[in-house]
Amino acid sequence: MERNEIKALVRRNIIELEPYSTARDEYQGTLGTFLDANESPYPTGYNRYPDPHQKALKEKISRIKGVSASRIFVGNGSDEAIDVLMRVFCRPGKDNIVAISPSYGMYSVAADINDVEVRKVQLSEDFSLNVDDMLAACDGNTRLMFLCSPNNPSGNAFPVEQLVSLADNFKGMMVVDEAYVDFSSLPSLLGQLDRLPNLVVLQTLSKARGMAALRLGLAFADEYVIKLMSMVKYPYNINAAAQKLALDMLDEDISPKVEQIKAQREMLAGRLGSFGCVKKLYPSDANFILIKVDDPNRLYEHFLSRGIIVRNRNRVKGCEGCLRITVGTPDENVKLLEAVEAYEKGDIR
Ligand SMILES: *Cc1c(COP(=O)(O)O)cnc(C)c1O
């Protein structure tokens, strides 16, 4: 797809939208006597509205990711980016999205809220992807395609060639959710943005970066797409405290923590795979492991009785019998393994 073809995918009312202009849009200086935003003049540390464009934060992310700031959208979690994409591209009651299944639940929730049809394409039994099935699910009204890689809850990353081939052949916006990319053996698609104007890469500060409570999700895309998303978001979608804290926390080199989690993941996979109650252990490129067990509800309750909370995915189509276990600290992982050992011995409270 060419850059100039994207406009045809955008809702007419969004192209014509006159976005809200904040006081800080109309006067951009930082020094002076500010009597333009009806703020309290008494300093509390938070009496002034935050930067609606998150300029400093985007500059820092730009340096870390090697993507120009004009190609970065910062949302109140990835969830905001997902919802804003729906509102930019999908006409309620008319357009549809295509997404893999099983996958992250927010794609269909955001679509449902926006009255956008969801076409789910089931992954194969080993959670691999069929590119032709994805393309066959599309029609002239398919505006967005959602691929999560590494995928939640299966944990596998899809081959880059498959994702690129989808973006090349799909006549809509291809959204690749890379929430777990820091833990993956496969590279990010960020390097493909130049070549693929219909690509949107989602990342988040919630997982490897350890800022889930700050609610900061990132979208990387063509400048035009980012401009549209910025028009549609709430003007002050990222509060000042979150912007400031993220700026400071982004100085951390997270690679030692990421490496430890990856090493612990491999340790856990090895150990879990040796238990008789574990029928299948799916390879993971993320910070969690999906296992298929003999009696998921019983093992889930057993974990709970020992104060360990995992995610029961037994009722998700394609994940029957499965529990999803996040990789914790070495101590937490030992506690988990001890619980499985007790379960195997029939030592159940
Ligand atoms: C956790 C997760 C996210 C992160 O969402 P935030 O709103 O940024 O916290 C995004 N996508 C997937 C697939 C996830 O599992």
- The answer to whether the CB of 144 falls within 8 A of the CB of 177 is no
Q: Is the whole model's pTM more than 0.95, yes or no?
A: yes
Beta bridge partners, 73, equal 219
Average pLDDT along the chain: 97
| Residue type at position 56 | A
Q: How far is the CA of 206 from the centre of ligand 1 (A)?
A: 7
Nearest atom (ligand 1) to Cα of 104? 13
CA distances from 282 to 23, 278, 289, 296 (A): 52, 11, 7, 15
Q: Tell me: pLDDT of 349 over 90.
A: no
What does 265-333 look like in DSSP terms, one character per residue? HHHHHHHHHTSTTEEEE---SSSEEEEEES-HHHHHHHHHHTT---EE-TTSTT-TTEEEEE---HHHH
Q: How far is the CA of 204 from the centre of ligand 1 (A)?
A: 6
Q: How many CB atoms within 10 Å of residue 101?
A: 16
- Residue to probe by mutation, ligand 1, list 103, 104, 154, 324, most atoms within 8 Å of CB: 104
Side by side, the strands of the sheet bearing 142-148 are 72-75, 217-220, 199-204, 173-177, 142-148, 96-101, 117-122
- Residue to probe by mutation, ligand 1, list 204, 287, 316, most atoms within 8 Å of CB: 204
Confidence of residue 176 (pLDDT cuts 50, 70, 90): very high
CA distances from 240 to 49, 55, 81, 211, 217 (A): 8, 12, 19, 15, 15
Residues framing ligand 1 (Cβ under 6 A): 77-79, 104, 148, 152, 177, 179, 204, 206-207, 212, 217
pLDDT over 70 percentage in the chain: 100
Average pLDDT over residues 244-269: 98
- The answer to whether the CB of 291 falls within 8 A of the CB of 282 is yes
pLDDT in tens, 63-104: 999 999 999 999 999 999 999 999 999 999 999 999 999 999
**3-class SS of residue 122:** strand
pLDDT in the model for residue 254? 98
pLDDT in tens, 223-253: 999 999 999 999 999 999 999 999 999 999 9
Longest dimension (CA), the chain: 72
Average pLDDT over residues 37-66: 97
pLDDT in the model for residue 348? 87
For residue 74 the two structure tokens come to 């910062």
